[in-house]
Protein backbone atom coordinates (compact mmCIF):
# COMPACT_ATOMS: atom_id res chain seq x y z
CA UNK A 1 0.00 0.00 0.00
CA UNK A 2 1.47 3.35 -1.00
CA UNK A 3 1.64 6.33 1.30
CA UNK A 4 -0.74 8.24 -0.97
CA UNK A 5 -3.49 5.64 -0.63
CA UNK A 6 -4.32 6.32 3.01
CA UNK A 7 -4.75 10.11 2.74
CA UNK A 8 -6.87 9.70 -0.40
CA UNK A 9 -9.03 7.09 1.25
CA UNK A 10 -9.47 9.26 4.33
CA UNK A 11 -10.30 12.23 2.12
CA UNK A 12 -12.91 10.16 0.27
CA UNK A 13 -14.52 9.01 3.54
CA UNK A 14 -14.63 12.60 4.77
CA UNK A 15 -16.15 13.75 1.47
CA UNK A 16 -18.80 11.01 1.52
CA UNK A 17 -19.66 11.83 5.14
CA UNK A 18 -19.89 15.54 4.30
CA UNK A 19 -22.17 14.85 1.33
CA UNK A 20 -24.37 12.74 3.60
CA UNK A 21 -24.57 15.62 6.05
CA UNK A 22 -25.47 18.07 3.26
CA UNK A 23 -28.20 15.74 1.95
CA UNK A 24 -29.70 15.26 5.43
CA UNK A 25 -29.61 19.01 6.13
CA UNK A 26 -31.37 19.70 2.81
CA UNK A 27 -34.06 17.13 3.66
CA UNK A 28 -34.63 19.06 6.88
CA UNK A 29 -35.11 22.27 4.91
CA UNK A 30 -31.73 23.95 5.32
CA UNK A 31 -30.54 25.99 2.36
CA UNK A 32 -27.11 25.46 0.84
CA UNK A 33 -26.03 28.84 2.22
CA UNK A 34 -27.09 27.79 5.75
CA UNK A 35 -25.32 24.45 5.35
CA UNK A 36 -22.19 26.25 4.16
CA UNK A 37 -22.26 28.43 7.29
CA UNK A 38 -22.73 25.42 9.57
CA UNK A 39 -19.80 23.60 7.96
CA UNK A 40 -17.65 26.76 8.15
CA UNK A 41 -18.28 27.02 11.90
CA UNK A 42 -17.23 23.39 12.35
CA UNK A 43 -14.15 23.76 10.13
CA UNK A 44 -13.04 26.83 12.07
CA UNK A 45 -12.94 24.70 15.20
CA UNK A 46 -16.27 25.78 16.65
CA UNK A 47 -19.38 23.82 17.41
CA UNK A 48 -22.33 24.93 15.29
CA UNK A 49 -25.01 23.66 17.67
CA UNK A 50 -26.16 27.06 18.99
CA UNK A 51 -26.33 28.42 15.44
CA UNK A 52 -28.25 25.33 14.27
CA UNK A 53 -30.75 25.59 17.16
CA UNK A 54 -31.48 29.23 16.22
CA UNK A 55 -31.98 28.22 12.58
CA UNK A 56 -34.25 25.35 13.61
CA UNK A 57 -36.43 27.64 15.75
CA UNK A 58 -36.76 30.13 12.90
CA UNK A 59 -37.51 27.39 10.36
CA UNK A 60 -40.15 25.84 12.62
CA UNK A 61 -41.87 29.22 13.01
CA UNK A 62 -41.80 29.76 9.22
CA UNK A 63 -43.19 26.27 8.69
CA UNK A 64 -46.00 26.93 11.18
CA UNK A 65 -46.96 30.10 9.27
CA UNK A 66 -46.83 28.25 5.94
CA UNK A 67 -48.99 25.41 7.29
CA UNK A 68 -51.54 27.92 8.61
CA UNK A 69 -51.65 29.61 5.20
CA UNK A 70 -51.98 26.30 3.36
CA UNK A 71 -54.73 25.12 5.71
CA UNK A 72 -56.67 28.34 5.10
CA UNK A 73 -56.19 27.97 1.34
CA UNK A 74 -57.40 24.36 1.44
CA UNK A 75 -60.46 25.46 3.40
CA UNK A 76 -61.26 28.15 0.81
CA UNK A 77 -60.72 25.72 -2.09
CA UNK A 78 -62.96 23.09 -0.54
CA UNK A 79 -65.65 25.72 -0.07
CA UNK A 80 -65.66 26.77 -3.72
CA UNK A 81 -67.71 23.83 -5.07
CA UNK A 82 -70.34 24.43 -2.37
CA UNK A 83 -70.57 28.15 -3.12
CA UNK A 84 -74.13 29.38 -3.65
CA UNK A 85 -73.03 32.13 -6.03
CA UNK A 86 -74.90 32.10 -9.32
CA UNK A 87 -72.86 30.65 -12.17
CA UNK A 88 -74.13 33.42 -14.43
CA UNK A 89 -73.36 36.30 -12.08
CA UNK A 90 -72.93 39.46 -14.15
CA UNK A 91 -71.03 41.24 -11.35
CA UNK A 92 -68.04 38.93 -11.65
CA UNK A 93 -65.05 39.92 -13.72
CA UNK A 94 -64.46 36.27 -14.67
CA UNK A 95 -65.67 33.74 -12.08
CA UNK A 96 -67.57 34.71 -8.90
CA UNK A 97 -66.44 31.57 -7.06
CA UNK A 98 -62.78 32.51 -7.28
CA UNK A 99 -63.36 36.22 -6.76
CA UNK A 100 -65.37 35.69 -3.57
CA UNK A 101 -62.73 33.31 -2.24
CA UNK A 102 -60.18 36.06 -2.82
CA UNK A 103 -62.05 38.39 -0.45
CA UNK A 104 -61.61 35.86 2.35
CA UNK A 105 -57.87 35.74 1.69
CA UNK A 106 -57.17 39.49 2.06
CA UNK A 107 -55.63 39.05 5.50
CA UNK A 108 -52.38 37.49 4.20
CA UNK A 109 -51.36 36.31 0.73
CA UNK A 110 -50.53 32.63 0.45
CA UNK A 111 -48.48 32.68 -2.73
CA UNK A 112 -46.19 35.45 -3.84
CA UNK A 113 -45.43 36.14 -7.48
Per-residue confidence (pLDDT) for residue 8, from 0 to 100: 82
* Count of the separate structural domains present in the chain: 1
| pTM higher than 0.85 | no
> Which residue positions in the chain have pLDDT lower than 70?
1-6, 83-89, 102-113
Per-residue confidence (pLDDT) for residue 69, from 0 to 100: 96
The reply to whether 20 falls in a domain is yes
| Total residue length of the chain | 113
Q: Are 30 and 55 in contact (CB under 8 A)?
A: yes
Give the residue numbers spanning the domain of 60.
Answer: 5-83
The reply to whether 103 falls in a domain is no
What DSSP assignment string belongs to 74-109? HHHHHHSTT--S-TT-TT-SS-HHHHHHHHHTTTS-
Per-residue confidence (pLDDT) for residue 97, from 0 to 100: 76
Q: Are 81 and 100 in contact (CB under 8 A)?
A: no
Cα–Cα distance measured from residue 30 to residue 34, given in angstroms and rounded to the nearest whole number: 6
Amino acid sequence: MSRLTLPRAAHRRETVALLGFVAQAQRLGFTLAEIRDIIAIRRSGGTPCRHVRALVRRKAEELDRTLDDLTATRRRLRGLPRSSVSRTSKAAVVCPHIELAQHDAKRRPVWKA
